[in-house]
Structure 1
Amino acid sequence: GGVGKTTLAKLVYNDMRVKGHFDLRLWVCVSDDFDIKRLTGAIVESIEGGPCNITNLDPLQRRLQEKLSGRRYLLVLDDVWNEYHEKWDRLKDVLRCGAKGSKVVVTTRSQKVALIMATLPLHLMVGLSEDDSWSLFEQRAFANRRMEKNHELFQIGKAIVKKCGGLPLAIKALGSLMQFKSSESEWLSVRDSKIWDLPDDGSTILPVLRLRYDNLPPHLRQCFAYCCIFLKDSWMEKDKLIELWMANGFIPSKGETTLHDTGHEIFNDLVWRSFLQDVEENFYGKTVCKMHDLMH
């Protein structure tokens, strides 16, 4: 994870040419729960722009077929883990009623899943080049520094970036972490951390996420950890989240600044550090966000 599959899919999804080509654009986060009823309901809600009160699968499928019939649509199924042909076939049967030219895009970390669901050649994502990796890291880590005065940090940073394996999420995460570290010893501490020696699960991203979490100020760590009460891939409403932080005593007092204003600062800080993402307005005009699934 962290190579940028969802980010690339969003760029395509939001492209003006794509918007003009399809009658409907639908986005559903699937994750590890490929439940046909839940997914069908989520697609219907995406079309109607609000909650769907139908609870039984058959009428749900009929509603979806009515909504898709004769319309050219783009459906993105994000983060799919289902490896069972039968489940995909059941959903695919309902989706056939769209107009000619309708498309379903699937993002997944599993090549087996991709092969099961694909009818076109796969687009395999690769990591960033060394130069692009450094450029992305530099934008964050050196945002407020003059490079010529930080030659030592420059060299240490190069070594840190190599540990990220070209993964944009890891690079952005470490870049935002290093922005708040000014001394050479702090940078060396990250470069030489024993977290990099954790058992290899085939992913570079997990040691990076652990490093970032361990380096959060206590109040930010507490507020972020509380977000785990929400279901994986679920939307969190910003104002409600801040109220919950306040109710649990997680927000520290700051002079004349109100707790609510401090809560907004904490929220924005967690977004900048890439702990919270996908910040947007929902159907009701409320600001919502998600945790990256790897951080849940």
Structure 2
Amino acid sequence: GMGGGGKTTLAQMVYNNERAVRHFHMRIWVCVSDDFDVQKIVRAIIESVTRKKCRVSDMDLLQEELREILSAKRFLLVLDDVWNENEEKWYGLKDLLTVGAAGSSVIVTTRSKIVSLILGTVESYELAPLSEQDCWTLFKKRAFKSAEEPQNLVTIGKEIVKKCGGLPLAAKTLGSLMSLKSEQWEWRSVLQSEIWEVRGDGILPSLRLSYNHLPSHLKQCFPYCTFFP
């Protein structure tokens, strides 16, 4: 599904569900992103289970330790935000995970349909966009400080929500942005922004708008964060 569509949120709900907690001996969450390095993923799994920093760099030793940890254990592994479409890398990782007990499960969140086809063990689940009404509910919870909706802003707000594309992250991000604005002209300025014409991932215009309206001292935090890996 598209970025900001709620894939990670849904996976978190499954991961933290009481039935999952009772059913699995161990639950492991790994944020993968665009760097699909099997060695890094194996190390992250080991660190998640042992709660200790893994300083082993030899892949053979890592594989041996992973097998010892997962052997005969029923585990739930979530690989979040996966981009890798290289089948060989996937097969290398899947082979390492076969030592778990029957009933072990792996959940993968991805924007790529190719990834879901490569995995192919069960039918993939593609999240549908939210309805405008559901987006409006998320938006107004962030935008309005009280339960009462300012009537002079509701009409403009609903037009802004139409630009969310059914993405919950967009609705929440824009709602948080509009909570800082109380004048009609400010809301219209956001509604009529040229940023909405920018092509790309459906979530980007909302995030870019939110960034553009930040105070300058908060914008400085973003380049500062680039110093950290």
TM-score w.r.t. the length of structure 2 is 0.96
Quote the residue 2:155 is aligned against: 155
Quote the residue 2:28 is aligned against: 26
Quote the residue 1:140 is aligned against: 142
What's the offset of the Cα at 1:146? 3.1
Q: What is the CA–CA distance in structure 2 between the aligned matches of 1:182 and 1:130, rounded to whole Å?
A: 22
- The amino acid of 2:212's aligned partner reads D
5 Å matches for 1:69-218?
69-144=71-146, 146-147=148-149, 150-198=150-198, 200-201=199-200, 203-218=201-216
Q: What is the CA–CA distance in structure 2 between the aligned matches of 1:36 and 1:64, rounded to whole Å?
A: 12
1:230-271 CA distance string (max 9 Å, x none): 23xxxxxxxxxxxxxxxxxxxxxxxxxxxxxxxxxxxxxxxx
Secondary structure of the residue aligned to 1:91 is helix
What's the offset of the Cα at 1:134? 0.5
Query: Is residue 2:4 matched to residue 1:2?
Result: yes
1:108-153 CA distance string (max 9 Å, x none): 0000111101300111011111111110001010123732xx2221
Q: What is the CA–CA distance in structure 2 between the aligned matches of 1:145 and 1:92, rounded to whole Å?
A: 49
1:197-233 CA distance string (max 9 Å, x none): 11x22x22111111110100111111243223223xx
Q: Residue 101 and residue 145 in structure 1: after superposition, are their counterparts in 2 closer, same or farther (change >3 A)?
A: closer
Query: Is residue 2:65 matched to residue 1:63?
Result: yes
For CA contacts below 8 A with separation 6 or more, give which structure has more relative contact order.
Answer: 2
TM-score w.r.t. the length of structure 1 is 0.75
Q: What is the CA–CA distance in structure 1 between the aligned matches of 2:86 and 2:148, rounded to whole Å?
A: 53
- The amino acid of 2:161's aligned partner reads V
- The amino acid of 2:179's aligned partner reads Q
Q: What is the CA–CA distance in structure 2 between the aligned matches of 1:191 and 1:72, rounded to whole Å?
A: 50
Secondary structure of the residue aligned to 2:89 is helix
Unaligned runs of 5+ in 1: 232-296
What's the offset of the Cα at 1:170? 0.6
Secondary structure of the residue aligned to 2:185 is helix
Q: What is the CA–CA distance in structure 2 between the aligned matches of 1:12 and 1:145, rounded to whole Å?
A: 30
Q: What is the CA–CA distance in structure 1 between the aligned matches of 2:122 and 2:109, rounded to whole Å?
A: 13
Unaligned runs of 5+ in 2: none
- Check the 8 A contact 1:163/1:204 in 2, yes or no: no
Q: What is the CA–CA distance in structure 2 between the aligned matches of 1:101 and 1:204, rounded to whole Å?
A: 36
- Check the 8 A contact 1:170/1:205 in 2, yes or no: yes
1:73-118 CA distance string (max 9 Å, x none): 0000111111111111111111000000000110000001111013
- Check the 8 A contact 1:142/1:179 in 2, yes or no: yes
What's the offset of the Cα at 1:38? 0.8
Q: What is the CA–CA distance in structure 2 between the aligned matches of 1:16 and 1:152, rounded to whole Å?
A: 43
5 Å matches for 1:12-51?
12-51=14-53
- The amino acid of 2:92's aligned partner reads R
CA RMSD, Structure 1 to Structure 2 (Å): 1.1
What's the offset of the Cα at 1:50? 1.5
